[in-house]
């Protein structure tokens, strides 16, 4: 006869385990300690088996009957309910260990093994830290787009639209890594692309007018601050690398006898080695600089420690002291200046200029073609550009660093 809640509540504690049947194999096992446990007896594969369904009153009589019904459906489909329960328990355990934080840490370790630049790793750690603060303990397969949107909106509310965009991107990287390692089925960030406020793109300040550029060059050559800073600014004008590539340059990278600077892949934006030809003018500046910093590893060491490179703010701060606002000139802007004036000269192939700027596409054949075909042209272009710098500055005299 089926059980009732009143009957169950009135059951006395027995001296030994006692079963009280509800029918269909479902029964309540009452122990001498007072515990009331739901059990389902059934046959599978010719064997008598028992499935635990939980404890009363946490699992009510109605819930126990629903679980009995679910088990019977599995049996009708040829599935062992006990084995299915073990699989579900295992899946829950896996889900609890495959949290967003755990997979984010795995991804970060992978990126570190791949030798990404320190600046890239620092930004990724920072963004992942923000993401883990909101999503870290959640099993990644259970995280919804709405959960991700909440922290993105919080960042947007502070006016940090670009940070919100980058945060969405790095969360997406974690999900795609989880998909690749069979721990998530999809990337919820994909549908959030249109939900965020697009940041206003502000290009780095650059002087592309020849006359105005001449004023900047004269200010650099007359700069009365640290000679290492002056040399760095001169080389930014002459070589137009990315500022970080120059600031972190080591003397071992320069072959002054053959006029070549080899920037290692770890410091390049595209993660591949880049060779730049050095004009005689540049070699002269570097040889003079060697008298100041050649005793150490770094060509442009920090004023605080020779073991650390020049600060990323040093060059822009020097430009400000010379009277150029952040809207007028920046260290990175020398790349736009050189690109504009080199292309306007009409003397050089556009691909050779792009190769010198390290703007080569990812295609292996095209990249090899750039390296092989344009080196000689880039050597000539480096000498011509050094002459142009002198002409624009109204002086072709070689530069020598004053005593420190």
> CA separation (Å) from 15 to 31, 222, 290, 383?
8, 100, 93, 101
Where do we find the tokens 């029964």? 27
Q: Largest Cα–Cα distance in the chain?
A: 109
Q: Which of 27, 36, 332, 378 is catalytic?
A: 332
Q: Which long-range contacts (CB under 8 A, 24 or more apart) does 133-139 make?
A: 135/100, 135/101, 135/171, 136/99, 136/100, 136/101, 136/104, 137/99, 137/100, 137/101, 138/99, 138/100, 139/95, 139/96, 139/98, 139/99, 139/100
- Whether 297 is a known active-site residue: answer no
- Whether 335 is a known active-site residue: answer yes
- Whether 203 is a known active-site residue: answer no
Alpha helices in 54-196 (DSSP H): 61-76, 81-97, 100-113, 118-135, 145-157, 161-180
Helix (H) or strand (E) holding 11: none
- Whether 404 is a known active-site residue: answer no
The residue among 174, 175, 193 whose CA lies nearest residue 185 is 175
- Whether 269 is a known active-site residue: answer yes
The residue among 234, 358, 355 whose CA lies nearest residue 299 is 234
Q: Which of 65, 168, 242, 247 is catalytic?
A: 242
Q: Which of 39, 116, 204, 269 is catalytic?
A: 269
Q: Which of 72, 161, 320, 369 is catalytic?
A: 369
Cα 331 to Cα 239: distance, rounded to the nearest angstrom: 12
- Whether 223 is a known active-site residue: answer no
Q: Which of 68, 335, 378, 393 is catalytic?
A: 335
| Positions marked catalytic | 242, 269, 332, 335, 359, 369
């Amino acid at each position: 006869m089926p059980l009732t809640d009143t009957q169950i509540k009135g059951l006395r504690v027995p001296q030994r385990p006692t079963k009280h049947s509800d029918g269909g194999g479902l029964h309540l096992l009452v122990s001498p300690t007072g515990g009331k446990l739901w059990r389902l007896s059934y046959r599978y594969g010719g064997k008598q088996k028992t499935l635990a369904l939980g404890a009363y009153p946490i699992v009510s009589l109605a819930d126990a009957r629903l679980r009995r019904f679910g088990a019977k459906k599995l049996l009708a489909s040829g599935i062992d309910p006990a084995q299915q329960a073990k699989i579900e328990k295992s899946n829950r355990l896996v889900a609890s260990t495959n949290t967003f934080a755990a997979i984010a840490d795995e991804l970060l370790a992978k990126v570190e093994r791949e030798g990404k630049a320190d600046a890239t790793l620092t930004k990724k750690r920072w963004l992942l830290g923000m993401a883990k603060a909101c999503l870290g303990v959640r099993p990644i397969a259970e995280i919804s787009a709405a959960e991700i949107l909440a922290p993105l909106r919080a960042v947007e509310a502070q006016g940090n639209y670009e940070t919100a965009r980058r945060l969405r991107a790095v969360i997406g990287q974690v999900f795609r890594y989880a998909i690749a390692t069979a721990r998530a089925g999809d990337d919820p960030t994909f549908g959030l692309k249109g939900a965020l406020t697009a940041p206003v793109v502000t290009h780095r300040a650059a002087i592309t007018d020849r006359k105005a550029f001449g004023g900047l060059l004269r200010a650099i050559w007359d700069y009365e601050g640290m000679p290492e800073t002056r040399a760095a600014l001169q080389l930014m004008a002459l070589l137009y690398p990315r500022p970080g590539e120059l600031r972190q340059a080591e003397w071992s990278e320069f072959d002054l006898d053959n006029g070549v600077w080899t920037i290692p892949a770890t410091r390049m934006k595209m993660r591949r080695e880049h060779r730049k030809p050095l004009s005689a003018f540049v070699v002269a500046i570097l040889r003079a600089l060697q008298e100041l910093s050649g005793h150490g590893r770094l060509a442009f060491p920090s004023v605080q420690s020779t073991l650390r490179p020049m600060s990323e703010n040093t060059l822009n701060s020097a430009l400000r002291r010379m009277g150029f606002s952040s809207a007028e000139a920046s260290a990175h802007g020398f790349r736009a200046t050189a690109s504009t004036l080199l292309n306007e000269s009409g003397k050089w192939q556009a691909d050779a200029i792009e190769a010198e700027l390290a703007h080569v596409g990812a295609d292996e054949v095209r990249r090899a073609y750039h390296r092989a075909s344009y080196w000689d042209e880039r050597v000539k272009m480096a000498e011509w550009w050094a002459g142009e710098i002198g002409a624009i500055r109204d002086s072709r005299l070689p530069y020598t660093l004053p005593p420190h």
